[in-house]
Amino acid sequence: MVFPTAIRQFAASAKASAPLKSSAWGPAIFGASLAIGSYFYYSSRPVAAESTLKGDKQWVDLKLIGSEELTSNTREFTFELPAGEKLGLTPTSALLAKYVTAKGNNVIRPYTPVNDLDDIGTFKLVIKRYETGKFGNHIFALKNGDTVAFQGPIPKYPWTANKHAEVGLIGGGSGITPLYQLIHAIDKDPADKTKVHLFYGNVTDNDIILKKELEEVAAKNPEQFKFHFFVDKASDSWKGETGYITKEYLEKNLFASSADNVKVFVCGPPPFSKAISGPKVSPTDQGEVEGALKDLGFSKDQVFKF
């Protein structure tokens, strides 16, 4: 709205201070419009941010600037990016994190950022610590100002708006991170009408990671986002499902394998993945579909194992 007013003002003042021949008005106004238009266009257009992780296999040391306890064994870690830069990942992708032990051994693990991937200046990881876990114990002991080396991106399932009509997301514990990255990408884009069915299992309700964020997404748009929470051990106040995510529950609440253009994404600990989809053989081999999804008739190209 500023733009036409500005042209009008500029044209009026040009006319008052330097009368022009009528034949000169056209090019003069055109030139003025172009100049002012260019000014507003270039001054308001966001400058494309540089990516910190460039896919060039270089390790980049980034500073930890905050960490927050989410559950008894998970924390959200915030890292600082160089000024004005974004991380350099697109949905869905992971990155590699590395530290070097006192004996000089590299410990390298993949993790999945859970912030908006267009964020400038910071990114966030949610990490679960296992009792004997090398990387988990290392990062939980870091203080603000310490650094971790990162490399990436590690592309997983490239997402574009409305790529599928409906998606099923089946996750256990910290396996929510890639599923959440996809949920956030769909939620953020008003043009993306993909229907999302999440089935998320945990031991107790206190173990549910990113619960507040998930509940906000579902509350905002309950027709598009249908979320089902499961716990093994329910508290008295628990309102979700109790027990494991079963084939019978999926049959009732997930789309059928015969539906058009649907995809199911799975991420969880090994016994969980085995029961739901069968294991992934390697990063480059998804393996056959087994478990509940096989019994429900889902084919290999309808299932993605993170």
The annotation status of 5 as a binding-site residue, yes or no, is no
110 binds ligand FAD (CB under 6 A): yes
247 is in an annotated binding site: no
Considering the complex, what minimum distance in angstroms separates the CB of residue 94 from ligand FAD? 4
Choose the binding region for ligand FAD from 10-18, 57-65, 105-113, 161-169 (rule: CB under 6 A).
105-113
Residue of 88, 91, 136, 201 that binds ligand FAD (CB under 6 A): 136
Closer residue to ligand FAD (CB): 134 or 163: 134
Least distance from ligand FAD to the Cβ atom of residue 12, Å = 59
User: Would you state the torsion angle of the CA atoms of residues 195, 201, 204, 210, taken in this order, to the nearest 10 degrees?
Assistant: -50
Is 117 near ligand FAD (CB under 6 A)? no
Window 148-187: residues binding ligand FAD (CB under 6 A): 174, 177
177 is in an annotated binding site: yes
As a whole number of angstroms, the distance between CA 167 and CA 299 comes to 14
Among the listed ranges 31-39, 44-52, 132-140, 250-258, the one in contact with ligand FAD (CB under 6 A) is 132-140
Q: Is 218 in the site for ligand FAD (CB under 6 A)?
A: no
User: Is position 128 annotated in a ligand binding site?
Assistant: yes
305 appears as a binding residue in the annotation: no
Work out how close the CB of 177 gets to ligand FAD at its nearest, in angstroms, rounded to a whole number. 3
Report if residue 94 touches ligand FAD, rule: CB under 6 A: yes
Among 65-73, 124-132, 188-196, 228-236, the segment contacting ligand FAD (CB under 6 A): 124-132
From candidates 121, 269, 279, 287, binder to ligand FAD by CB under 6 A? 269
Sheet holding 241-242, edge to edge: 241-242, 225-231, 195-202, 166-172, 262-267, 303-305
- Cis ω for the linkage preceding 90 (within 30 of 0): no
- Determine if 124 is a binding residue for ligand FAD (CB under 6 A): no
Are the C-beta atoms of residues 83 and 52 closer than 8 Å to each other?
no
Contact between 126 and ligand FAD per CB under 6 A: yes
- Taking CB under 6 A as the criterion, the residue among 86, 128, 263, 294 binding ligand FAD is 128
Query: What residues make contact with ligand FAD under the rule CB under 6 A?
Result: 94, 109-112, 125-128, 130, 132-136, 174, 177, 269, 306
Residues belonging to the binding site for FAD are: 109-111, 126, 128, 134, 177
